[in-house]
């Protein structure tokens, strides 16, 4: 009886470890995500407000079926920056094919003081 329990335990551990090892979450390709990042950087050039200090935010975005950026959330303590990001990025069309970028993704944004 002990041998049967030990055998069942070994089989269960083997199956569970094989199932856990076979999960492969899909990651967006680095070329597509870097192309989107460059386009976002271009959209956010020359802020429309005075920058007194370096501001940072994490922007949660998604792409709709028309390849338009949709801002879901801006994690920032500064209201000016949040409004600036939403006005510059929301529903901006990005050209290209981004099939692997379905779902949400987070882009860190930093606005520096111009010297």
Q: Is residue 71 within 8 Å of residue 61, measured between CB atoms?
A: yes
Tokens of residue 78, six digits: 């500064």
What 3-state DSSP class applies to 74? Answer: strand
At residue 56, φ and ψ (nearest 5 deg) are -130, 155
Query: pLDDT of 87-101, one tens digit each?
Result: 988 998 887 666 666
Whether residue 12 is predicted with pLDDT greater than 80 in this model: the reply is: no
Q: What is the pLDDT of residue 98?
A: 63
* Angle of the 30-43 helix axis to the 79-89 helix axis, nearest 10: 110
Q: Is residue 38 within 8 Å of residue 66, measured between CB atoms?
A: no
Q: Is residue 75 within 8 Å of residue 104, measured between CB atoms?
A: no
pTM here?
0.64
Domains and CATH numbers, the chain: 27-111 (3.30.1150)
Residue with the bigger pLDDT between 99 and 37: it is: 37
């Amino acid at each position: 009886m002990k041998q049967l329990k030990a055998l069942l335990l070994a089989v269960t551990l083997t199956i569970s470890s094989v199932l856990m090892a076979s999960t492969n979450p899909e990651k967006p390709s680095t070329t597509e995500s870097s192309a989107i990042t460059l386009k976002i950087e271009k959209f956010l050039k020359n802020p429309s407000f005075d920058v007194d200090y370096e501001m940072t935010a994490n922007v949660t975005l998604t792409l709709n079926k028309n390849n338009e950026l949709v801002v879901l959330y801006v994690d920032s303590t500064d209201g000016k920056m949040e409004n600036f990001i939403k006005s510059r990025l929301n529903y901006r069309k990005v050209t290209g094919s981004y099939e692997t970028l379905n779902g949400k993704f987070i882009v860190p944004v930093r606005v520096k003081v111009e010297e």
